[in-house]
Amino acid sequence: MTARFNLTETQCARLLEGVIEAGRQVMAIYEREFDVSIKADDSPVTEADMAAHHALVALLNDTCPGVPILSEEDADIAFETRRAWARYFLIDPLDGTKEFISKNGEFTLNVALIEDGEPVFGIVHAPVLETSWWGSTEGGAFKRVGRGDTTPIRVRELPSPESGTPWQIVASRRHGGDVLEALCQRLPAHERVSMGSSIKLCLVAEGLADLYPRFAPTSEWDTAAAHAVVRAAGGDVLEAKTRSPLAYNQKAELLNPWFIVFGQRDARWLEAVPLALD
């Protein structure tokens, strides 16, 4: 276990403003015609992905020199190298590229600080929504819309059966499947909302959703920043099969297992998950 690397208040502020500025660069591309290419894994990439990548890498190197960086757009770093990192920044320059291409606004820029496999600080910025979420394990979680006030956020308590208030389940706009349906059939009365990108985790962090079950492929950069925000807000992310905390940089591949994002632990969903997986 390494000594904790504490970002200063000045560093956090510089990172937040730098991510927002990178979002402005992305918006300049979003608002005009742009080219789309296909990567080797058949996923799309645009010039906005690369512009955000270069902007965020420069920001991190300037603000926190010497801390390694792993980005979706520069992920070809051998595990033999990565496994020696006690801490590193994990970034997804543009999470929700398909949402960016379809122009529904549900895409984000994501920066996370990982220490000993845990996300300890994260920033998620949604440029179209002009909304930022950020948080750290020591400092709590926050949200800001535009240049408005900074608001502390916290996961909410699950509605009691007596209240008649349904649970709020957030799900991927593009990935559902039989396992998700099997889980939802076993949950108390609920409403389901579909959303793109890491915004889904942030909805749990700010108490607008109770659960985000994910039974489809994601990569570590897809979740890390928002995972940090969820943890800072009092929730967490568990692997669906083992129900152990989702961890980072523990294996050669960078794919996440299936997982559950939650605000509150509750036997009703904890017991329903393995039944849905069977």
Binding residues for Mg(2+): 72, 92, 94-95, 222
**Sign of the dihedral through C-alpha 118, 122, 128, 131:** positive
Ramachandran region, residue 142 (left: φ > 0; alpha: ψ -120 to 50; beta: rest): beta
Q: Which two tokens stand for residue 75?
A: 């992920």
* 98 in Cβ contact with 44 (< 8 Å): yes
Residue 201 contacts residue 218 (beta carbons within 8 Å): no
DSSP H/E element including 262: strand 259-262
Beta bridge partners of 213: 260
CA distance 257 to 185: 22
Annotated binding-site residues read: 72, 92, 94-97, 222
With residue 259 as reference, give the H or E element that holds it. strand 259-262
CB atoms within 10 A of CB 278: 6
Number of H helices, E strands in the chain: 8, 14
Strand 118-126 versus strand 108-115 pairing type: antiparallel
Q: Which residues are annotated as a binding site for substrate?
A: 72, 94-97, 222
Q: Which two tokens stand for residue 217?
A: 């492929």
Quote the CA–CA distance of 211 and 189 in Å, as a whole number: 13
Residue 108's nearest CA partner among 57, 157, 70, 52 is: 52
